[in-house]
Amino acid sequence: MAEGDPSISNYVQGLAFFGTPFQGTESRKLSDILKSIAERYGLPNNDFAKEIQTLEALSKDLSTRHTSTKLRFFGERESGAIIKLVNKEAAKITGISNNTVGVIGEDHDNICKFKSKEPWYGNVIDELRTLAEVETINTAPTVRILARNLEKSLLTMP
């Protein structure tokens, strides 16, 4: 997602991350969080150096990227003695001004499977709507180009 990249990343309005551990917490290192995830799903338990490097690179890219890309992060709400794998602290990227972090009262298995009756459902939907809001100033040239290409396609159809 480099700035000069002519790929789709130039047209991304926003990104939402559900239960993605970008950093460790006060009580747990990032490698410990990743080991817990691997154990829960029966995955090989290695030192996670490659995964940590990937998460760090993504964190750096997102934190240095222009601020027009909206970011939303969701962690798992801790409940009582049950420690969630990715809490609010682990789900955020430090140093980002638009670092909106929400919590979902589900565990890692169900963080994206909640129902509309859940109390956090409205908050998540509101955040996703915010991500989907089109910035008309940035997209106007794109809309004109797409309309022009559609018009050309229609004129050349048999």
Q: List pLDDT tens digits, range 31-74.
A: 898 998 888 888 888 878 888 899 888 888 888 765 667 888 99
pLDDT of residue 134: 66
The answer as to whether 2 is a domain residue is no
Looking at residue 155, what is its pLDDT?
47
7 found inside a domain: no
Work out the percent of the chain whose per-residue pLDDT is above 70. 70
User: Which H helix or E strand runs over 136?
Assistant: helix 136-156
Task: Indicate the number of domains in the chain.
Answer: 1
pTM of the predicted protein model:
0.71
Report if residue 144 sits inside a domain. yes
- Of the listed ranges 5-9, 82-86, 90-94, 99-103, the least confidently predicted one is 5-9
Give the chain's end-to-end CA distance (angstroms, integer): 39
State the helix-helix crossing angle for 30-41 and 49-64, rounded to 10 degrees.
120
For residue 100, the enclosing domain spans 12-156
In a domain, 3, yes or no: no
Residue 107 near residue 84 (C-beta atoms within 8 A): yes
4 is a domain residue: no
Mean pLDDT of the residues in the chain:
76
SS3 call for 72: strand
Dig out the tokens for 39 from the structure: 């154990």
Q: What is the pLDDT of residue 66?
A: 57
| Residue 21 clears pLDDT 70, i.e. is over it | yes
d(CA 99, CA 78): 20
Task: Classify residue 1: in a domain, yes or no.
Answer: no
Is 72 within 8 Å of 16 (Cβ atoms)?
yes
Instruction: Select the more confidently predicted residue: 91 or 8.
Output: 91
Higher pLDDT, 158 or 75: 75
In this structure, is residue 5 part of a structural domain? no
